[in-house]
């Protein structure tokens, strides 16, 4: 079995891609094509698949991670959240994943389901990602990752409080961290510096989302609390009605961002693909040979 943490420390860039489970069988086949396209561009160290709340995509998540790992031979990481799930239900999901050969899990609290303003703790469930991490760590057969927020989680009262919770997740058993999207590398490097100063040496993988749609990225950043640098926002605004130019500018920025991250010592790059391959393949083509 491939444990993601073992991919770090080899002196090579760890590349990974994130997908969300499609709602239809046709969408599932299209997703497999996208994964194959990206695998051809650069053999990823792993692929992660997001997880729907309240059962909305849980079965699809299991199907996708199983196919990616068993059919394509690519190590897979399943997202797992605390949303609308008891401990017993979480254990049942994990048992199925392990039985299918998937032992890498990204442990998250999760966002409130659509139509619900705030996260609510399920009766018999967990309130925090750190609780989920600690529970999963007791099994001993899992490699656990957790989320990090270079600009702080939007619900955190301060950057210091957010850092404390991030450290707590590592203390509870998370062996590596994957960041929320960001567009100013200063936030990533300062965040990592603060983690290291606090004694945390876990790998921190920057999450990269190429901008391909202005309205979409505005929605994403408003949800997760990420900011867009003024010069980039200005360029995007000037091309808002020109999708091809928006994508070109977004890819250009992502390439520069990735080059700077790798030059600064980032251990890898985690691409939020939105189930499409063009932007990510373009970035990878420009980065080839850097690692």
Confidence of residue 123 (pLDDT cuts 50, 70, 90): confident
Q: What's the Rg (C-alpha) of the chain?
A: 18
Q: Tens digits of per-residue pLDDT, 85-105?
A: 899 999 999 999 999 999 999
Coil, strand, or helix at residue 177?
Answer: strand
The pTM (predicted TM-score) of the whole model is 0.94
Q: CB-based contacts of 68: which residues, under 8 Å, 6+ apart?
A: 32, 35, 47, 49, 74, 76
- How many Å apart are CA 24 and CA 160, to the nearest integer? 42
Q: Tens digits of per-residue pLDDT, 24-81?
A: 889 888 999 999 888 888 889 999 999 865 545 678 888 899 999 998 889 999 999 9
Q: Report the topology of domain 10-287.
A: TIM Barrel (3.20.20)
Q: Mean pLDDT score of the chain, rounded to an integer?
A: 91
Residues 254-266 have a mean pLDDT of 97
Q: Is the pLDDT of residue 113 over 80?
A: no
Q: Is 18 a catalytic residue?
A: yes
| pLDDT of the residue at 10 | 86
Q: Is the pLDDT of residue 146 over 90?
A: yes
User: What are the structural domain ranges in the chain?
Assistant: 10-287
DSSP symbols for the chain: ---GGGGTTSSS-EEEEEE---SSHHHHHHHHHHHHHHHHHS--SEEEE---GGGSSHHHHHHHHHHHHHTS---EEEEEE-TT--HHHHHHHHHHHHHTT--EEEEE--PPPTT-SS--PPTTS-SSHHHHHHHHHTTSS-EEEEEE-TT--TT-SSHHHHHHHHHHHHHHT--EEEEEE-S-HHHHHHHHHHHHHTT----EEEEE-----HHHHHHHHHHHT----HHHHHHHHHTTT-HHHHHHHHHHHHHHHHHHHHHTT--EEEEE-TT--HHHHHHHHHHTT--
**From 18, 118, 131, 240, the catalytic residue:** 18
Confidence of residue 115 (pLDDT cuts 50, 70, 90): low
35 vs 202: which has the higher pLDDT = 202
């Amino acid at each position: 079995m491939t444990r993601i943490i073992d991919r770090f420390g080899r002196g090579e860039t760890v590349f990974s891609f994130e997908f969300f489970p499609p709602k239809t069988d046709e969408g599932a086949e299209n997703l497999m094509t996208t994964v194959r396209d990206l695998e051809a561009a650069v053999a990823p160290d792993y692929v992660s698949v997001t997880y729907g709340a309240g059962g909305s995509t849980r079965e699809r998540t299991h199907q996708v991670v199983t196919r990616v790992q068993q059919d394509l031979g690519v190590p897979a990481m399943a997202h797992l959240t605390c949303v609308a799930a008891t401990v017993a239900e979480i254990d049942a999901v994990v048992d199925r994943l392990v039985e299918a050969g998937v032992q890498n899990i990204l442990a998250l609290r999760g966002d409130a389901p659509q139509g619900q303003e705030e996260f609510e703790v399920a009766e018999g469930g967990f309130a925090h990602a750190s609780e989920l991490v600690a529970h999963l760590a007791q099994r001993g057969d899992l490699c656990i990752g957790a989320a990090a927020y270079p600009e702080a989680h939007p619900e955190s009262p301060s950057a210091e409080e957010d850092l404390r919770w991030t450290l707590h997740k590592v203390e509870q058993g998370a062996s590596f961290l994957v960041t929320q999207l960001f567009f100013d590398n200063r936030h990533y490097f300062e965040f990592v510096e603060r983690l290291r100063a606090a004694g945390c040496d876990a790998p921190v993988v920057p999450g990269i989302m190429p901008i391909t749609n202005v309205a979409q990225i505005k929605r994403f950043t408003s949800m997760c609390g990420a900011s867009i640098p003024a010069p980039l926002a200005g360029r995007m605004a000037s091309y808002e009605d020109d999708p091809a130019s928006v994508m070109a500018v977004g890819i250009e920025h992502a390439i520069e961002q990735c080059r700077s991250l790798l030059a600064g010592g980032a251990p890898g790059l985690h691409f939020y693909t939105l189930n499409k391959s063009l932007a990510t393949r373009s970035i990878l083509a420009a980065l080839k040979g850097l690692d």
